[in-house]
Structure 1
Amino acid sequence: MAEQPSMTGPISGVAGRYASALLETAAESGVAAIDQVEADLDRFDALVRESADLQRLVRSPVFSADEQLAAVTTILDRSGIGGLAANFLKLVASRRRLFAVQQMIAAYKALVAARKGVVRADVTLAALPAVQVLDDLKQALRDVAGGDVDLHVKIDPSIIGGLVVRLGSRMLDASLRNKLNSIRLAMKEVG
């Protein structure tokens, strides 16, 4: 599974400008439009992640704006993505900005989450835990955040055990790897 781009800092650059403009446009039509755009962008993002050909189209500078627009239009028609999200994706293709479309989607999702008061929590674990453990972790993070939490789990066996949590701008490294490194450093200072 491909990892989502991180949107922990302020949203800026090309992706941020496009995402902000899209959110403003969607907001003019109401909350349902914001959610529909997010769902359509998620579907398009999944299509990109699943198709090597679509990834090439998005990332390669050899395709002209007309070629990108024609391909994106066909993909949108076949996948049933329409409305504001389709118009947005066609605009991005026509301006030769497809290389940043996945960052734009991530930025849009981050802006929508912030608008709804949802805090992103990135949790790194050594192995995938049971569903109940994830539910308990999400509830504990909700209590700390004081609201809804969008939990993103990453598996990294190199942390050996424990967990690393990033909640907004706060980070807690309670991994076994970190504790072992602390012990190793303490032992060097003693010896």
Structure 2
Amino acid sequence: MLRLFMRTMTTSTIAVKPPISVFGVEGRYVTALYSAASQKKQLEAVEKSLRDFRKLLTKPKIVDFIETSLISRAAKAKLLIEAGKQAGMPDTAANFLGLVAENGRLKMLRRMINMFLSVMVAHRNEALCEVITAEPLDEATRKTLVETLKKFVKSGQNIQLTEKVRPSIIGGMIVGIEDKHIDMSIARKVLMYSELLKIGIL
């Protein structure tokens, strides 16, 4: 079915491999989707549509739709393809959803989407970073932070920065970069000193 999907969606018989290795059942679907979307030049459009669709996967009605056995696989596939096209999804993404439904893999769909989004991060040679501050960053601080973060990633990688504001950290910042996590918040320091006072070190 995955080969049929690729043959249907592309004019080439040569598969385009993702920039990173993906494994398991989910990996096979993601590889097929990446190859098809790449050859049709729909990668960014597919990424956006699946990112938007992922937000719907926690809604009770969608959860019930995925888990119910009262609707056949074929009917689910047809409904998803039609809904996807009505929502403006590129045909590659809509047909991908239909394929996943027809093969009875909808319970894996969220993991497939997350895996595809990770593949797209690698495709753009990006490093995902998150910073949490008590107040929004000003432009100068943001620029300095990005330049500093570049020292912690592979040469040539682009920093994709996500900013969050959380007044409860009081000040300072919490930085997450790939598998690293650095808490430099004032709230963390207050907690640390409070614990030291409790055991009589200070």
Provide TM-score, normalisation by structure 2: 0.69
Question: Which of 54, 60, 72 is residue 62 of structure 2 equivalent to?
Answer: 54
Q: Given the superposition, is the C-alpha separation of residues 61 and 154 from structure 1 closer, same or farther in structure 2, using an over 3 Å criterion?
A: farther
Question: Which of 113, 126, 129 is residue 121 of structure 1 equivalent to?
Answer: 129
Q: Which residue of 1 aligns with 2:46?
A: 37
The alignment partner of 2:42 has SS state of helix
Q: Given the superposition, is the C-alpha separation of residues 126 and 53 from structure 1 closer, same or farther in structure 2, using an over 3 Å criterion?
A: farther
- Larger fraction in helix: 1
> How many percent identity over aligned positions?
25
Aligned residues: 177
1:91 Cα shift? 0.7
The answer to whether structure 1 residue 18 and structure 2 residue 26 are counterparts is: no
Which of 1 and 2 has higher RCO (CA within 8 Å, sep 6+)? 1
Question: Which of 57, 73, 76 is residue 68 of structure 1 equivalent to?
Answer: 76
Question: Over the residues paired in the alignment, what is the CA RMSD in angstroms?
Answer: 3.2
1:90 Cα shift? 0.8
Q: State how far apart, in whole Å, the 1-side matches of 2:119 and 2:189 are.
A: 35
Provide TM-score, normalisation by structure 1: 0.72
The alignment partner of 1:105 has SS state of helix
Q: State how far apart, in whole Å, the 2-side matches of 1:57 and 1:131 are.
A: 44
Structure 1, unpaired ranges of 5+: 1-9
Q: Which residue of 1 aligns with 2:95?
A: 87
Instruction: Tell me if the contact between 1:20 and 1:111 (Cα under 8 Å) persists in the aligned partners.
Output: no
Q: State how far apart, in whole Å, the 2-side matches of 1:23 and 1:168 are.
A: 22
Structure 2, unpaired ranges of 5+: 1-20
Q: Given the superposition, is the C-alpha separation of residues 22 and 162 from structure 1 closer, same or farther in structure 2, using an over 3 Å criterion?
A: same
